[in-house]
Amino acid sequence: MSVQKFEIKFDNPACIYYAGQLVSGRVTLITTKEKKIRGICLHVKGEAEVKWTESRRVTRNGKSHTVYGHYSAHELYAQMEVWLVGASHGDMMLPPGEHIYPFSYTLPQNIPSSFEGSRGHVRYTVKVKVDRPWRFDYDCKVAFTVLTPLDLNFEPNMQQPVQNTKEKYLCCCCCRSGPVTLVANVLRGFVPGQKIEAIVECDNVTTEEVSVNCYLEKTVTFKASCRMCTKTKYDESTVAMERLGTVKGNDSNTWTTKLLVPALPASYLKYCNCIDISYMFVVKGSFSGPHSALKLRSQVVIGTIPLRNYFPAIAPSAPILPCMPLLPQGGDMPPMSNDAVAAPSAPPLEPGTPYPDLPPPTYEECMLIKGNIRNEEDSDYTYGASDFAPRYPMYNFR
């Protein structure tokens, strides 16, 4: 093959950038033969895409058949197209050898973080095409991670514990016993690498044994349209779990959970209108007999910057990846909402205040879904890895 090497390399080896920062790198193309081309075009794109298909049976004129509905949504956040050499018209000869083309692009400020899901994604890519007249083109495509900070210090009530209670009566052979009561006291804001230390109580006033577990549940909401109809789909998954223990009949127990938050996308997926992300801390009581489980849910927020009073508990991660800082250069902070409440144990923070005392995190691949960045615009001759998983900040708590 006359193309020995075709690759895109970012100046930041971690391939992680924050909204508003400069994405830069170089394209390397090595050929063994002279090639006739129109030019070499580079395209940067950031977009959200949601799609799924539903089917239903309908009967018309006495005949039944299947009707398919294709639901989709699309949002464009970033786009740049530049010809590194040549143009879309006219021909030129590309000599054999190594060709290196630098590129750069400044990301917009208000864009969502990278995300890969079962029915949609927010994805940022760089694609380079060698446009050849009357022949198939050569393509190279890579994805990179974009992060938009979610600072828990500017979210309301993150440091105030929430207590939730739920109970269940057991019925068997027309007899009613109970109740079984679950109580959970949990804070609302956490970051990956932090442990959810909730106090969980179970009071079992029945003869059945109860097995108690807790887990972190992630819910992704997808919104898309088909003709004049808009629908919403929910994908729920368990991203972390801890077994607490059992409670025998007419007994009670109390635990302090230590549920580790893995590398996850932040709550809300700010600036995206077709995908939303939320998290629940769930306590589940399962019974030895034929009874449905008792579930107690408490909403929590997963951010990218921890509450300030936890800074002393964070150790510098090792190894530290050579990626971008937590915040854009100059320490610009997300604007504070009107109802935001700073952590009570720390002095109020003003927008624009940097965090020089916050040890930097490492960045780990999301533990859930990898996406395939190939689409109908790509060909069998597209270079670059097809699988991609975004990387999210992970803190090292002592």
pLDDT score at 281:
97
Question: What is the per-residue pLDDT across 80-113, written as a single tens digit (0 to 9) for each?
Answer: 999 999 887 878 888 999 999 999 999 999 999 9
Of 283, 317, 351, which closes a domain? 317
**And the tokens for 53?**
């298909």
Question: What is the per-residue pLDDT across 352-396, written as a single tens digit (0 to 9) for each?
Answer: 346 888 888 999 998 778 888 888 787 777 888 889 999 999 999
**And the tokens for 263?**
């590398």
140 and 217: one domain?
no
207 and 292: one domain?
yes
**And the tokens for 199?**
């106090």
pLDDT score at 354:
61
Instruction: Give the Cα separation of 148 and 109 in Å (integer).
Output: 8
Sign for the CA dihedral angle at 150, 75, 143, 231 comes to: positive
Of 317, 336, 354, which closes a domain? 317
Instruction: Classify residue 61 by its DSSP letter.
Output: T
230 and 291: one domain?
yes
8 Å CB contact between 303 and 155: yes
Band (24; pLDDT cuts 50, 70, 90): very high
Please identify which residue in the block is written with the tokens 């956490």. Answer: 190
pTM check: above 0.95 = no
When pLDDT is averaged across residues 177-191 and rounded to a whole number, the result is: 92
Answer yes or no: is 345 within a domain: no
Q: How do 391-394 and 294-302 pair as beta strands?
A: unpaired
- Kindly tell me if the per-residue pLDDT of 289 is higher than 60: yes
Element (H, E) at 260: strand 259-260
Least confident range of 120-129, 297-306, 309-318? 309-318
For residue 283, what are the β-bridge partners? 214, 296
8 Å CB contact between 284 and 297: no
pLDDT score at 322:
54
Q: Where are the beta strands (DSSP E) in 175-269?
A: 175-186, 189-190, 195-196, 199-204, 210-226, 229-247, 251-256, 259-260
CB atoms within 10 A of CB 350: 9
When pLDDT is averaged across residues 220-230 and rounded to a whole number, the result is: 92
Answer yes or no: is 146 within a domain: yes
Instruction: Give the Cα separation of 86 and 91 in Å (integer).
Output: 8
Give the CATH number of the domain where residue 252 resides. 2.60.40.640
pLDDT score at 54:
87
Query: Can you give the residue range of the structural domain that contains 190?
Result: 152-317
Answer yes or no: is 116 within a domain: yes
Domain count, the chain: 2
57 and 131: one domain?
yes
**And the tokens for 67?**
């009707």
66 and 179: one domain?
no
125 and 203: one domain?
no
Instruction: Give the Cα separation of 319 and 314 in Å (integer).
Output: 14
Answer yes or no: is 173 within a domain: yes
pLDDT score at 65:
80
